[in-house]
Amino acid sequence: MLDDIASCSEEGPGVTRLPFTPEHQTAANKIKKWMHDTGLAVHTDAAGTIIGRREGPAGCPTLLFGSHQDTVRQGGKYDGIMGVLLPILALRAIEDLQLPFTVQVMAFADEEGVRFPTALIGPRALAGNFDPTALDLKDQDGISIHEAMADFGLRPDEIESLDLRNTPIIGYIETHIEQGPVLDHKNLPLGVVTAIAGIERHQIILKGNAGHAGTTPMLGRQDSLACAAELVLVAERIGRGTPELIATIGKLDVLPNAVNVIPGEISLILEVRSAVDETRERGGETIIDEMREIATRRSIGFVCHTTYVQPAVPCDIKLRSLLKEAISSHQQQTIELPSGATHDASAMANLCPMAMLFVRCLKGISHTPEEFAEEADMQAAVDSLVNFIKLLK
């Protein structure tokens, strides 16, 4: 089934399926068929979330499952979409079992934030914190989110009406490949997530002096790129030396970026992540303080602006415990681990209790065509979701 839906992609290596595109429409038709074949009542809401619903008794609360259908460019065929399929298969396995609650499986339209400079519209709408001004944001072709959604047959002006905060909800469970190597290294198929890491990003501007690369003596140069090289190593060293801290500099813009000119100005982005906000905040401060000292020593101008902060999102302790119990029959050791990546679950946590089930992926590789999850591991996840539903029952 995952091989089949992977064909809903732009041309090129891997899977490229961006929101509100023909590829998205083809995939949506397949997801709806999965849901119909499982006996679920299916509809698409105003934000483009495909919803398959199995009704329980009148007035009962709802258990939510979900993940996203979209991909990065030239990504893999498991990230996101696997978490839509597996709970559908779990419900298919217990179609004759009477449940005292409603179960809803959701395929969100946009989690990756590749086509537009925002994401998580679907879960944010359900959680009641969607910002309608985001609909004015445009893709690289100048098409706004509002235009793209309307052309897709959706009702963007009705998104704010999707708020579920006054609806009785048991919780939200997201199944996802780990996107890291922990489960693979431990030879375990499944893991339970403790928290989704918080993120902060800082734009740092380094201002030195440009000059002729052949005539300016090495001694006394104010080379902003040489300074940036030191800063990259600072982030790496502190990130490696601080438990539960991840620090990355993945973007640099060099001016004038010419082969025979000393770089005069550098813009770089420092990203710091941790599942513990205090660790993230302290780590970021330490890195930036040391970076500033290096720039001062090199007589390089240093300006730092914080551009993005997202607090860590802890998973619900009760739901985590039930997930651990649910997977215990499939592996001798049940482990818990943080998620360094953001997921739809981070937005759903503003609505209801949230938990995540991780599935092992080969060597932790993700967001590439080489992304791979074993069928046996995915089946263990399906069986564990069945156990989880029965434990709630």
Q: How confident is the model at residue 56 (pLDDT cuts 50, 70, 90)?
A: very high
Does residue 231 have a pLDDT over 90? yes
pLDDT digits (tens, 9 = 90+) for 275-329: 999 999 999 999 999 999 999 999 999 999 999 999 999 999 999 999 999 999 8
State pLDDT tens for residues 263-282: 999 999 999 999 999 999 99
Alpha carbon distance 51, 39 (integer Å) = 12
Same domain? For 338 and 260 the reply is no
Based on the fold, state whether residues 351 and 380 are members of the same structural domain. Answer: yes
The residue-averaged pLDDT of 190-215 equals: 97
**3-state SS string for the chain:** CHHHHHCCCCCCCCECCCCCCHHHHHHHHHHHHHHHHCCCEEEECCCCCEEEEECCCCCCCEEEEEEECCCCCCECCCCCHHHHHHHHHHHHHCCCCCCCCEEEEEEECCCCCCCCCCCCHHHHHHHCCCCHHHHHCECCCCCEHHHHHHHCCCCHHHHHHHCCCCCCEEEEEEEEECCCCHHHHHCCCEEEEEEECEEEEEEEEEECCCEECCCCCCCCCCCHHHHHHHHHHHHHHHHHHCCCCEEEEEEEEEECCCCCEECCEEEEEEEEEECCHHHHHHHHHHHHHHHHHHHHHCCCEEEEEEEEEECCEECCHHHHHHHHHHHCCCCCCCCEEEECCCCHHHHHCCCCCEEEEEECCHHHCCCCCCCCCCHHHHHHHHHHHHHHHHHHC
> Domain tally for the chain?
2
Q: What is the pLDDT of residue 331?
A: 80
pLDDT at 49 over 90: yes
Q: Return the structure tokens found at 311.
A: 């607090």
Residue 154, pLDDT above cutoff 90: yes
272 and 151 within one domain: no
Q: Which of 289, 310, 331 is the last residue of a domain?
A: 310
Domain boundary among 310, 333, 364: 310
Q: Which domain holds residue 139?
A: 2-196+313-392
**Are residues 300 and 205 part of one domain?**
yes
Burial 155-179 (b: 16+ CB within 10 A, else e): ebeebeebbbeeeebbbbbbbbbbb
Same domain, 192 and 244: no
The token pair at 389 is: 């539903």
Strands 169-177 vs 62-68: parallel, antiparallel or unpaired = parallel
pLDDT at 363 over 90: yes
166 shares its domain with 304: no
Does residue 337 have a pLDDT over 90? yes
**How many Cβ atoms are within 10 Å of 116's Cβ, its own excluded?**
22
Q: What is the pLDDT of residue 329?
A: 83
Question: Which CATH number belongs to the domain containing residue 352 in this structure?
Answer: 3.40.630.10
Same domain, 72 and 113: yes
Q: Residue 330: pLDDT band by 50, 70, 90 thresholds? A: confident
Examine the domain organization and report whether 161 and 53 are in the same domain: yes
- Please state the pTM of the whole predicted model: 0.90
Question: Do 269 and 325 have their domain in common?
Answer: no
Together in a domain, 192 and 80 = yes
Instruction: Write down which residue in 286, 310, 334 finishes a domain.
Output: 310
Average pLDDT over residues 64-90: 98
- In this structure, are 292 and 334 located in the same domain? no
Q: What is the CATH number of the domain that holds 293?
A: 3.30.70.360
Residues 217 and 305 in one domain: yes
Q: What are phi and psi of 390, to 5 degrees?
A: -65, -35
